[in-house]
Structure 1
């Protein structure tokens, strides 16, 4: 263990310092080797200085390591191929501990996010029941009222018993039933879309071409809203192995959200950037809109959670599920009126890039 080696090294240096200093003092006190004794004392002092420097260097590295842990610094790395063998072992141990702690924190965060999603799905039946009952209850009640216009004690009324007022009320009632039924159909379709995501059909296609098509698709709306869209690709032609339709759906949904956030804002801008980061392909969509409050950043991916008056609350949840099925991740960060960024990362094992 590196700690044992450091311990023996320190003990050995202390013993050596005591021996050299003792020899020098003995030579001076005896008067037989005064000059050699003084030299020995200087050597002992130099050894003390070297030991103090070594301990301070180790302490600074330990303090740096502990500060990084406290500050959740994820980029900390100690060089484990330079310095003495003890330092290399110490650095390697620090790097291992830091990696394990970082991975543990990430897993804990992922568990918290997954738990929120599980809780959301657990509440899903309550949401469905609530929405269905809100639509069905007035339909049943109104149907009973309309039925009473046309029958009495279980027997149908004669035509001469029906007035123009009854007919007008019936038409209004049927129109209300139709409206409620359509709302229920829309809600059911939203749920069906979330619940029946098909596995991605992977194929090679040009991501560059897809993004240019999406730019063209939104060109008129962007001009109408006065929003500037800029795209940046890490190279001109990027080919990926993914489900083109599903990936297009995610990018379009994120762009629509960004445009809605910027609606009515002057100098609104959106950037769409594709990066090659390590072993991953990253697609980042950033806007300078009002942003997302930090206390609901995690909730925006929960099914049926929405802050929009006309939203269904499934767009972002659906997008995250699609990206997960591509073995990727969809994340968000937000700083109001500076940058709200949605980042899609997918392993390059699913994407190949060509110059």
Structure 2
């Protein structure tokens, strides 16, 4: 009997469960330590990025000051000539006192027989030669280069004076690059932080040679001194795994783990009992919601589609009343014709909406895509003028025969163009373009506008029922259009566009042996 009791403790309810608890605690402990290390690494890199950006701005400002110094010194040199060398030296020495990173200022005559001046104890022939060579090679821009003789951490900045091909002098500044990076921030005083400045060609000017890709690399914001600032930070184990944070975190995690186990045991039993009841209730609600949604979708679709012909009927009726008041009976006849056409259109829409729940019984006829586009243009031309929108057509020269119902095809085109009109409500010089063409056995229809385009969050759902980006929209227009296009074996798609929205409809071309019936009663093959 004792042996049997021991075997039960070894099962899932005995020693097996404590082993599972320990394994779970160990995994959570590792995750906690990893999270702390990741957070410390992120904090360290974020601090490096912030400090480096601040240092970059400071170094860029200091480098930009050199351009102004060069301009001022050039003006002094030209104004005084050789007789003004004393004034030039006074200004140059004053700059050196205010800006200690400027080690020396040299005014070198382009003509070697001419006279120049320098703040150095004695002229440096190598420096003079480098300045003359830079003046002869420049196109007017300041010339940046290393110091002759390989002075570490120093570079030479040269400007011709005057800045033309008839330059008299070459003006040179010897600059200590360390002065560009001077900072009182504590971050740069730590041993883990490293920084360097390199020439545009990649040669190291000053600082540490950073191994591997630097964490921060950016060119100074100075056109004359495009030096590249590189910074990095060494991620030591002690910095990534601070025991002062890991130990308290493990203690808190352990307490929460034990409390969570107790709560989980209570919750698991209760949830298992409730799950079966909820599943049954959910199935009942889903069945009811499906029926309600189907009814709502149909009702909203009817309201959405019938609004257009009913609005047209109301507008024409009001116009007819005004014409009767004026006694213009001839014009009233055309208004009545339009009322009849819109009433028939409403009846057609009701017929087509019924096809949502049952397939068409008869075979569709042949129609010309260009003719359908022309019918929609005539219908929407007044609205385009009212909205100050330019409706532009670019149709294929030949008829594009497709096997489709004319009213359904016009409904698709109408929905796309009308949506484009509504998208242009807040756009100046709005334009809607409708094009058609033949391509690889297909009739291609493109409708695009120069409006704000479709929101990226809705782009993948525009053809789903009730999905709309308009405040008063029902979200059924494009859904109905997709049903119609797919019913005639076509495709409708929202294409990427640089500006505005672009919808494309692709329909299979019908055989040219079939007859096409036109609006004027003509029948063509």
Same fold by TM-score, threshold 0.5 exceeded? no
TM-score bracket for this pair, using the shorter chain length: 0.3 to 0.5
TM-score, normalising length: structure 1: 0.44
Greater RCO, 1 or 2 (C-alpha within 8 Å, sep 6+): 1
